[in-house]
Structure formats: structure tokens, C-alpha cells
A and B are shown apart, each in its own frame.
Chain A
Amino acid sequence: MFVSANDAPAIRATDGLPIHGRNVLRSPFLRFTLRRLCGSLLLVFLTVSMTFVLIELAPGDMVDVMAGEAGTADPGYIEQLRSAYGLDRPLLLRYAHYLQHVAQFDLGYSFRVNKSVVDLILQRLGPSALLMAAATGLALLGAIPLALLSARFADGFVDRVASMITLISYATPSFLIGLTLILVFSVDLRWLPSGGKDTLFSGLTGWSRFVDIAQHLILPAVTLGAFHFAVYTRLLRASLINVLHEDFVRTARAKGLSELRTFGVHALGNAMLPLVTMVGVQTGALLGGSVVVESIFAWPGLGRLAYEAIAQRDTNLLIAIVMVSTFVVAAVNFLVDILYFWLDPRIEHG
């Protein structure tokens, strides 16, 4: 009843007053950022090392892997690689060489396309990012209203229907969704194109180009986003239901606020936070899922590149893609953590 600790001001140095402007850049925030940055870099380093371990464990030596089974590699080049990677040297030195190459962004060379692997990947990064962003956007666009309705009328008709829809979205493999969409919208209805990023050699610019790309983007984005739509809906629904039991929702109602505002602003504002983190976590699944989706829709992204690499047995390229993907995921998670830190005023330390 008479709790003594209660009157002590919750926070320290600033006398319980808000931190304004420039102060934000000082201690807690910056420390958090730096700490997270170090964590991310460490993780990337460890993952690169693990990739090395995997390559070492695989049958054949490093160069067999690097040069690929395509047989397009020049024997002189293979010799060069062997010495460059010091395959006659002890393990640790090989490891050091490997790290050195990675740090210099030298991930090899692709004879097939006559480009360095790094260039190849960079070229595909843009379209992948576009597809992933569109997929996430669509997923959220569908998830938020559906979760709101489900939570508001929990266990009601809407909720059950939503539950079934999300279950089907979750359970259907992306290639099935993709193929079905192509059949329906491209073949039967002829509304949308069945592949590619834009109409080739059309020379469209400005708005028409934008529309053209959008038309090509929509089916793959829906396909890729379907699974995540299910995940976000379920998560947000659970989060909303939790938040609805909180006292401040009752206060909002007692103030005379409409249900819409109570729900849409107060409840949703709080329930969104776990969703933000989840979006970050799902980046990996987006990248993985894009392999299949991009291959079905011939979308020129990283996923498609991976698919081509598999088909060509170009293991070197595959490894490079895996490394870049890891880096991307780490970067996105890092940004999401910063964003979360920014969004939730309760977090003062990391």
C-alpha cells in the first residue's frame, strides 16, 4: 500500500524533464548506436568465417568451389587462384587470405557474364530491394486493417474468417501462389504481365515507366508478401488484444474518445512496436523467399541471380550472394533497432 519508492523521479540526470534537441545525440542514444553497430559488424564477421568453414568442409578444395564446375575457368586462372588463396599454406593463412579478399570486396569473377561478382550483385540489389519493399508494404497494408478488425471483434465472424485467410496464406508455398496468379492474371485475364521488371526496349520514361514497372511488380510482390501478410496479421492481432487490456485504453474511453480513436491511435500506436521489430526479423525470410519468387517471375534481383547460380553450379557466386544477404539483413536489423529506440520513448538505454 504505502510504497516508498514511488515518489523518486523515474529518470536521472535531467530532473525528470524531457531531453530536447541536441541532447538526444549525447550519451544514451549514441552509446546504443555504437554498441549495436559493433554487434552487427561482429556478427557479419562471424558469419563470413562460418561460410569459410562451410567451404572448407565441402568436398573439393576452395578453388574447385570458386572456379565452379562450369568449366569455363581458364587453367591459368585456376593456378593463379590456387596461389592467391594459398591452398598449399596452412589453414589459418588460408583463412586470413579469405578474410582479406572479402574485406576488399573482392568476391571473385564471373566468366559467364564477364563481370566481377561484386558488380553483378550490386546491379541486382536495386530490383531486389524494390521487390522486398513492395512485398512488405503490401503485407502491412493488408495486415493492419485485418488485424484491427480481428482484434476489435475477437472470436467473431471476421476474426474466424481472417484466421482462415492467414492460415492459407501462411501454408501455401510461394511458388504455388505465384503460378496461380500468373495463370489467372496473365494467361486467363491478360491484365498483368507474367514476368520481367519492365517491358523490354520500350524506352518508356517518367510516369509511364513508373506504371510499367508497377504493373510488373504487383504480382511478384503479392506472391512474396503473402506469407508475411499472415505473420504480421497474427502478430498485430495478438499485440492489439494484449494492449486492449491495458489501463490507458480504459482512460481513453473514460475521456470520451471515440472507439475509432481509442483503437486506431492509442491501442495501435502501442501495438505497432513489436511489429516494427518483426519487420526487421523478416528481412531474412524475404531474401530467402525471393529466390523462388524472382525465378518464377523472371524478376532481375538477387534471388533470381541465386537461382541462376544454382542452375550453373556457380558456387562462388552463391556464396557471395549469401554473404551480401547476411550483410543486408544485419544492416536492416540495425536500422530497425535504431528506429525502435527512436519510437519507444520508454527506452533510455540500449
Chain B
Amino acid sequence: MSKLRLVTASVLALAFLACKDTLVVPNLTDPDRDRALSKPADVEAFIASTYAQVQNATLGGSNDDLQTQLQVMGMENTSALANFAMGPRGAIPRTPIENTRNSTGDVGNYRDFTVLHRAARMAVMGIDAINRLVTLGSPGRDARARSFARFVQGASFGNLALAYDSASLVDENDDPEAIVPLSSYTDVMARALVELDSAITIARGDASGFPIPNTWINGVALDTATYFRLIRSYKARFRASVGRSPAERASADWAAIIADANTGITADFNIASNFATGWDVIWPAQAYATGSANWHQMSQFYLGMADSSGGYDAWLATTPADRAPFLVVTRDKRFPSGTTRGAQNADTLRPNYKSFAGFPYVRNRPPGEDQPGQPLQISMYDFYRSRAFFVAGRIGNYPVMTRAEIRLLAAEGYIRTGNFPAAMARIDSSRVTNGGLPSVAGIGDTLTAIPGGVSCVPRVPDPAAAAGAYKASKCGNVWEAMKWEYRMETMYTGYGMWYYAGRGWGDLPQGTALYWPVPYQEMDTRRQAFYPAGGVGGTGGAPNGNYGLFSGGVY
């Protein structure tokens, strides 16, 4: 009997032990922290994944992000479709970002916030892993990885500060599962600049690991020189663009911006996009997905500024609801030439016109492809520099930061600081070379009209027009010339190019939200009340724009 008891007890004990092991089943499909960050090479690969997150947050991965909203809010793009909140965000008059549950654009509002935070969190997780492992194999590799992680951390914070009014400053010393308090966008931007500087400092400390492999930023192998130029370009972009108002933009450290821009990128910064390898610029794919002018329209309001035929004035003078797209007859080579639509259709078809290297930048589309829309927002032109990229299935180089952007930030800085010759040289760099427009060299103030007479480019709505405020146009000044170049050369390239610049220049339509509130989904996790932004008369809404984009002005 005692033997029986012993056997029974043994069997039971074994059974319970077996139970314990039996019920532990690993997840063989999805990695976790322990497996992904246990070996030096894996930690390095993890850090190498982080810039892709920044790219994904801003330009890749999903149209349900801020980029589609940024473009319509800045009037860089327009669409009357509901998809990805393009129609509602582009509505005239502007409506607020409600930021309530299931409200318009809520998925996109949240996506960039989370993915940019993820990029920063992954970067500091990588640094924490290096600290834990002590080394990745050599001081040079350690420095390269640490520097890159700081760069990504800085780029993430910078983009968060551009878009949102608050964000969390995550670092390797906090509890990674705790909720990090929110900091204001100015603090976030300040920290972004610190991290970007830190990236340079670390790399300077030991550059033996460089260049950065071309898989870290797809297709781009960065030695320290090009790496530092990229970082300084980011700093210039962030410093200039973070301001929510003309006053804030004006108060930026323009000397620093000039310095960074002058040591910034010397050529367009392209990423080799291929969504099959995780590097994506998705927007152009959707822009042409259902016909030229469905997801993608270009605003006659801005394109009209190039017109010398009088069409723009007539258009401005027309009752807003009755405005129809008109032919932009211009000397600006970035448009097709011709005085009839047929002629412009034909001139569109120049060699390489579908690429970033070719002309014109916009095509005059075949008339059968026109689509209806809000009169302020439609035209007969399409941005076509990305067409070859689209046809290639979103595979190929795509400029996520143009040389022109950084150069024109310096130009703006020089105008603001009174160094007009330096500014004019930078404006002419594209104005004359790409646009074929008369040089602005020699202009030494912001009052003088740009050359070109009746064919001047750009023309801008005139608040003192004889036909009535904003019912006709006038030649712009160098300030307008700088902005025109910025818009022509950066459109559909980086992240919210026209929007961020437009809010700092005071050009956005009345009521356009000047920032995104912290998404309600995040506020829910914090058990804090959520809040809206923008709308005519609402908190965070743009005041009346410079160009008359307000009720009683242009519309």
C-alpha cells in the first residue's frame, strides 16, 4: 500500500511539473524584446530599423496619416473625397479638428503621433540595449549606432513638434512601459535640436564606424560629412517650421537656420523607395489611383499666381461659386507653355516630364479627365513629377528633402536679416534656372515689385485692388518670389511642405488648424480630456490669411 501511495504521489508530482512546462508555449511568429535585443548584431539591426519608422510616420506606409491632411490644409493638394479626411480638412470655410471619438480624420491624427513616438522609443531602446551589452563590438560601431539613434530621436521629436502641440520626451532612463508626461511643442523642439546635436557630437567623437550602411536609410550610405549635412538640414527645417504664426516664425533663430542651411544638403535627399523592402512613399500611389483628378487636384488659387493672361484676375473677380478652372499662361517653365489647352496638352509631353528631373512640373491634363470640386481648389493641372515613380510601382528614388527647401530657408533667413544679395542669389537659383523667370538680383527690400511687368511671376491677390479687395492681383515682391520658389520646388516632396511654411507665413485659409491637438486616443490612455483645434474663430485656428483666404476675401 505504501508503494502504491509513493507511485501515486510521484505520478501526481510529475504531472504537475509537466503541466507547468506544457503550458509555456513560445510565440514563434512575432519577436519580442528579449529575442530582438539580445545580440550586438541584432541591436545594431534594431537601431538601423528606426529611421524607417520616421519615414513611415511622415510619408510612407499609409495614406491614413497627417500627410494627406497636411497637403490639403496647406493647399498643396486638394480633394473633395472623404478618404483620409481630405475633403473635410480641405473644406472652405475651414472646420476644426474635432478630435473626438470617431471624428473625421481620427485615424490619421493618431497615426503620426504614435509612429513618431515609436521611432523615438525604439531609438532609446537601442541605446539602452547598447548600455546593457556594453559594446556592439567596437567603439566605432557603438558610436555609429548611438549617433544614429540620437539622430532618429531628434528627427522624431522634431516632426512631433511640427505637427502636435505636445508630445512625450522619451529617453532610455524612463520606465518604458510608463506614460511619459507631455511636454509643449517648444520643449519638444528644443529637445529635438539637442538630440540632433548629440548625434553629431557622438559621430565626431569616433567616426571610425562610418559610413552608415545604405540599408539604414535605404539607398543612402552616409559618411560623416553627408550625415552632418542631413542633420543640419533637419535642424534648419525644424527651427524654421515649428512656429505656429508669423510672429513665432519670425522669432526663430534665423542666424542658426542660415548657418545650418548653408552647411546643409547640397543635393536633394532621396530615399530609395520600395515598399517591398519597407521603404515607402505612399501618397503618389493613391494620387493617381482612381484617375488623375480624384484624389489629387491642384488649387487654381496658387497655380493662378503664375498666370499672365489676366485669367487669374478674372477668376478672382468671379463670384466664388461660379469660378471655373482657367488656363495658366505663364513664362514659368515649370508649367506647360501655350495659350490654348490643346497647346499646353501638347507641350506637357516633353521628354522626362514625368520625373523630378524633367519639365514641366505640372501637366495640363486631357480635358476628359477633369473632375468637379470646390472652385477654389480645382484646376486643369496635375503634379506629374512623381508620375514615373507611380508607374514604377512606388519603386525608385523619391526626394523627401530637397536642396531647394534648405536653400530657400537660408534665403528667407537672409531676407529676414537684411542680407538681400544672399537671399536673391538663393531665390534666383531656382527662379532663373528652373523657372526661366527674370532674376531678382539687385532688389534690396521687400517692397519692390519683382521684375516681369504684366508677366511677373508670382502675382498675388491684391487687398487694395480697384475691383475690390482680393478681386485682382498684383506683382509680388521678393518675399513672394521666395515663397513662390519654395512652393514650386518643394510641392509633393517632403512632409507638409506648404502647410508648415504657410502657417508661419500667415498664408493659410482662415480657420485652418495651426497644429494638431494630442489625439484623443492618447488622451484616453492618460485619462485626460481631449480638445479640438482650429476652425474659424476657434482656438488654434488660422487668422485671416495674407492672400485673402477668408470669408469676404477671396471667398
Chains A and B form a bound pair: no
